[in-house]
Amino acid sequence: MVGMMVLQVVVAVIPGEALEIGAGYAFGAWEGLLLCLIGAAIGSAIIFFFVKLLGVKMVEALFPGKDQFSEIYQEQQAAEPADVYSVLHSRTPKDLFTYFAGLTPMKLHTFLMISTIARIPSVITSTIGGHALGTQQYVFAAVVFAITIIVSLIGILVYRRISKQEKEKEKEESQNDTISQG
């Protein structure tokens, strides 16, 4: 299970939720959570190490057409670790985030601590649901997955609203700067 989670993190296109549900099914909610977090931490450390070693060129080579990588890299050079995590996580797909963290000045242990804590809510809902499936508690599993979907949708809507407000504010500030310079 740990090895499969390492592979899932390293090969960012493999969906992690299916493995997490499987971990809960096979090992129970809490042991499944632990195994998933250990595998994700090992996979994240491997990526982090190679990105630190090879730099932005590695990320751009693996994900061509993602021009924002260099921009994000430049923005994050002087930021605090929690700010780096917040900005990168909000601007990149979850599975690609690990590749960007190595481009920042963040230390490995800080990154692993922040990313592991941030993964817990998602992983525990998957392992609880998987465990419920394994113990034939289908209604409970359906409720867990339904609540997860609802909370995720609410999060997406709130994120989009905040992003829209920030873009409008930036646009207004840019227009005000243009007016004051003219």
Q: What is the mean pLDDT of each run of 10 residues along the chain (182 residues)?
A: 94 86 97 96 93 82 62 52 47 64 84 88 94 96 94 85 85 76 63
Query: CB of 84 within 8 A of CB of 98?
Result: no
Running DSSP on this structure, what letter comes out for residue 26? Answer: H
Query: CB of 19 within 8 A of CB of 12?
Result: no
User: What is the pLDDT, as a whole number, of residue 67?
Assistant: 55
Running DSSP on this structure, what letter comes out for residue 85? Answer: H
User: What is the pLDDT, as a whole number, of residue 109?
Assistant: 92
pTM: 0.75
Residue with tokens 């592979």: 7
Angstrom distance (rounded) from CA 164 to CA 31: 40
User: What is the pLDDT, as a whole number, of residue 66?
Assistant: 54
Running DSSP on this structure, what letter comes out for residue 55? Answer: -
DSSP 3-state of 139: helix
